[in-house]
Amino acid sequence: MATVEAVGSHSDGEYLHAAEIKNWRHAMGGAGVLDDTLSLTVTEANRVITVPAFTAWVPDGNGALVYVSHAGGNVNVTASASNPRMDLLTLDASGNLGMQDGVATAETGDVEEAPLPSLDDDEILIATVRSPANQSNVLAANVRGRAVQVAQPTVMLAGSSSAATSTTSTSAVDLVTISGLSIAAAAFIESQFNYRKTAAAATMVGFGLKVNSTVVVEATTTVNSSLAACTSTQEVQDGICSFSITPRRTNYQGGILSIITVHTTTTARLMQVQTTLLANPIPTATITSMAIRAINDTASNAAEVTDWKIWTR
């Protein structure tokens, strides 16, 4: 076995392939590994590359970054029977580590002539691997670290949901849930979402918040007591809710502030700070999921939420 540092650098005179250039562009946008050392173990005889646990910011392909905590694992390297090949070891936004095989290409003495496959918009590059034709092992010398280390951003996107989801329920229910979170008790939380009532009815819709399994603010049809709400004016209404949660500590579990702006026909725009009623203290445990809850006065209307994002700092 041999060790190769994944956080590598290019030497003078080296080719710079399109995939490597794109990886640097991703790094300029904040995408890359957070570890200053990331050692790949190459088991040459078995053609296996072992990647240790590491963390990274990976582009999601839509302009945002996704935090990935990878547990590490083994990746198998194959060889072409005809010509040498250049492959990519990558990590995608879903947390998948894998090899992308290049195109086997005859060489005329230059080991860099085999083209690299392209790097997808939701991937970062960990290493390139040159596989000579019919070679029964993978040499550590042919594995080149191409990971770029980036700094931890001050504000991090912890989770998001862009789908528009609605309910006609007249009792408070979970409407949109973001799972897979890992938000420490000491973190500040900022969050925003769009909401609306979908029918021109003289009825109310309200929204609440659940943290893990605890309903922190219940959805009610009273404007000032919910996390967010629309008024009973007989019209379709839409709004934005922006809420903040301060670090959660013993004796400090009520730190939530909600501000809403509602577009109405009669007042053009209603903006207010919500006097949210705390149903239960905000849990001090690590937050693994959050849910927006919703309720309607009558089933003739629908409460809808879209474009929900959660940031931490």
- What is the model's pLDDT at position 256? 92
Q: What is the CA radius of gyration of the chain?
A: 25
Mean pLDDT within 69-74: 91
Q: Is the dihedral of CA 187, 172, 273, 194 positive or negative?
A: positive
Q: Are 303 and 167 in contact (CB under 8 A)?
A: yes
The CATH number corresponding to 156-312 among 2.60.40, 2.60.120, 3.40.1350, 1.10.3470 equals 2.60.120
Q: What is the pLDDT of residues 153-176, one digit of tens each?
A: 778 888 999 999 999 999 999 999
Rounded distance between C-alpha atoms, residue 148 and residue 227, angstroms: 41
- What is the model's pLDDT at position 264? 76
Q: How confident is the model at residue 294 (pLDDT cuts 50, 70, 90)?
A: very high
Rounded distance between C-alpha atoms, residue 5 and residue 38, angstroms: 6
- What is the model's pLDDT at position 220? 93
Rounded distance between C-alpha atoms, residue 256 and residue 244, angstroms: 6
- What is the model's pLDDT at position 44? 82
More confident residue, 134 or 91: 91
Rounded distance between C-alpha atoms, residue 92 and residue 58, angstroms: 7
Using the predicted structure, report yes or no on whether residue 308 has a pLDDT greater than 80: yes
Domain range summary for the chain, segments of one domain joined by +: 2-145, 156-312
- What is the model's pLDDT at position 132? 81
Q: Are 99 and 129 in contact (CB under 8 A)?
A: yes
Task: Please give, one letter per residue, the 3-state secondary structure of 90-149.
Answer: EEECCCCEEEECCCCCCCCCCCCCCCCCCCCCCEEEEEEEEECCCCCCCCHHHEEECECE
62: exposed, middle or buried (C-beta count within 10 Å: 0-12, 13-18, 19+)? Answer: exposed
Q: Which backbone phi and psi does 117 adopt, to 5 degrees?
A: -70, 165
Mean pLDDT within 85-106: 89
Q: Are 156 and 313 in contact (CB under 8 A)?
A: yes
Q: What is the pLDDT of residues 207-238, one digit of tens each?
A: 999 999 999 999 998 877 899 999 888 889 99
Q: Kindly report the average pLDDT of the chain as a whole number.
A: 87
